[in-house]
């Protein structure tokens, strides 16, 4: 019986961690140990930083630096060659050295924000277009029109939690009973 309970616990733990790791890319993970993005950037969707009271995922998603400051967020303004104000984040793409963020501005135009780390600061370039070569080797995370899929993954991860606790209790009870007999 212990082996069956242990196998179920291992399966539930593995499923929970896999789903939580996937949710990291949307800032909705529970376990804060992941760091897959360059420059220690972290995706974030937290309710204490609400911009849109409807808790709309797309309007509250942001990317933060290692100190917790937003580097890309809705309503954020960049002044590089010209003024660009972020309406929403469409997707972000990254590899070990680069991060591109595709945004829509308030004129409904797509813009591409490229981050490059210089000694102690980010160099920010904003482009109106990116060549196909610049996309090569990048892993992309879709934010726009993806909230239902993210919600489903989050609900599945959360649904695993209660069975995990039940099976953990049963497993520990089984171990305790074996030691007492």
Sign of CA dihedral 104, 108, 111, 117: negative
Q: What is the DSSP letter of 53?
A: T
The C-alpha atoms of residue 113 and residue 99 are separated, in whole angstroms, by 8
Which pLDDT belongs to residue 177?
80
Note the pLDDT of residue 55: 55
pLDDT for residue 82 is more than 80: no
Q: Specify the pLDDT at position 53.
A: 53
In this prediction, residue 12 carries a pLDDT of 95
What's the pLDDT score for residue 146? 87
Q: What is the pLDDT of residue 150?
A: 92
pLDDT digits (tens, 9 = 90+) for 86-138: 998 999 999 888 899 999 999 999 999 998 877 777 788 898 888 888 888 89
- Interval 7-50: pLDDT, tens: 999 999 999 999 999 999 999 999 988 889 988 899 998 655 55
Q: DSSP per residue over 123-152, as a string?
A: EEEEES---HHHHTT-EEEE-TT-HHHHHH
Helices (H), 70-146: 132-135
And the tokens for 117? 């780390």
CA distance 104 to 124: 16
Beta bridge partners, 118, equal 121
Question: Per the structure block, which two tokens stand in for 14?
Answer: 């593995």
């Amino acid at each position: 019986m212990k082996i069956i309970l242990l196998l179920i616990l291992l399966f539930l733990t593995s499923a929970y961690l896999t789903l939580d790791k996937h949710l990291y890319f949307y800032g909705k993970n529970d376990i804060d140990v992941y760091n897959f993005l360059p420059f220690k950037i972290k995706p974030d969707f937290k309710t204490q930083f609400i911009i849109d009271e409807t808790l709309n995922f797309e309007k509250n998603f942001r990317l933060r630096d290692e100190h917790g400051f937003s580097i890309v967020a809705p309503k954020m303004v960049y002044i590089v060659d010209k003024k660009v104000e972020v309406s929403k984040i469409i997707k972000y793409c990254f590899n070990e050295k680069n991060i591109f963020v595709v945004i829509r501005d308030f004129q409904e135009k797509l813009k591409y924000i490229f981050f490059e780390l210089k000694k102690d600061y980010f160099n920010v370039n904003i482009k109106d277009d990116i060549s196909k070569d610049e996309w090569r080797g990048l892993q992309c995370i879709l934010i726009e029109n993806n909230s239902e899929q993210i919600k489903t993954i989050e609900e599945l991860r959360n649904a695993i939690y209660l069975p995990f606790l039940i099976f953990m209790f049963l497993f520990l009870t089984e171990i305790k009973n074996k030691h007492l007999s």
